Amino acid sequence: MPPERARRSGPRRPAPAIGFSVVFVLAIAIQLFCLPALAAQRIASLNVCLDQLLLDWVDHRRIVSVTWLSANPHYRRAPLPEHVTLNRGHAEELLGLRPDLVLAGQYGANRASTRLRELGVRVVTIPDAYNLAQLQQQLRALGEELGLGRELNHQARRFEQLVRQPPAEQPLTAMILSANNLTYGGGMLEHELLELAGFRNLAAEGGQRLQRVMLEQVIAAEPQLLVLYGGEQAFALAHLAARHPVIRRYVDSGRVFILPPELGFCPALVAADVLEALQKKRESLVRTQ
């Protein structure tokens, strides 16, 4: 080798080692960029709650069908995309749409789910949520199936942060009054949200999850906050206030909180909003005491 070339090339230096942090960041980036390619691109739903979660949290171009119930204003939160087909829970309706993922709830459309699986269609059952643990399980299951979309990831993280907040030192008392004089005791999502927000649910002292309570019992318990379900219950609240002066005092003093109807049929949509609003409501009640 000519001496000038030898001098020019010189001894090879070892390549600099890539730090662990760089490798970790690259691995996460690769995973995130691959997720959209791996995630299902033609998704159908056989459950009204899952309809709303798809329409709220997933790119509409990936949705091919939701249930006919989502055309009902009681359930629908936003306009339906024109290309999305409404189904009535029959396997034959979905086959022609060639979905690569069908989401089903624990209950309902079982025959369609079984038939679609027999025909080779990928059907995933997403668990229902009646308490906090089940709600967190539901969010994880959706994340695994749909990919870590921005909205789904945001809602899951937001809910985790709210749940981890320390409990209030001096909880205020509250009671829920729903349609048909139902109230919610221990083990129910509504009860757990009240406790996390810094309230003591008086109905939990009865030891039952769902129980009937007379209006006179609610008044005798003297909760510091009266909680009612929204939607049709807005009319029920007006009716109650008109016929009972004690309820009118609750309304006039701002000691009423209205739960959105979505909490009853699809809590993942609004649970974080409800918890945050209940926390703010408690703060306002404490300030006025």
* pLDDT digits 0-9 by tens, 124-146: 999 898 888 888 888 888 888 88
Query: How many other CB atoms are found less than 10 A from the CB of residue 16?
Result: 6
Q: Which two tokens stand for residue 100?
A: 């690569």
Partner residues linked to 85 by β-bridges: 65
Q: Distance between CA atoms of 2 and 33, rounded to whole angstroms?
A: 49
Would you call 67 helix, strand, or coil by DSSP?
strand
> What pTM, to 2 d.p., does this model score?
0.78
Q: Which two tokens stand for residue 265?
A: 């049929």
Would you state the pLDDT for residue 237?
Answer: 66
Instruction: Kindly report, residue by residue over 187-236, the tens digit of the pLDDT.
Output: 899 999 999 999 999 988 866 788 888 888 888 899 999 998 866 556 56
Low-confidence ranges of the chain (pLDDT < 70): 1-38, 148, 206-207, 230-243
Would you state the pLDDT for residue 34?
Answer: 38
Would you state the pLDDT for residue 226?
Answer: 93
Would you state the pLDDT for residue 181?
Answer: 79
Alpha helices, H only, 119-184: 132-146, 150-163
Burial class of residue 82 (count of CB atoms within 10 Å of its CB; 0-12, 13-18, 19+)? exposed
Domains of the chain: 43-161 (3.40.50.1980), 169-288 (3.40.50.1980)
Would you state the pLDDT for residue 152?
Answer: 76
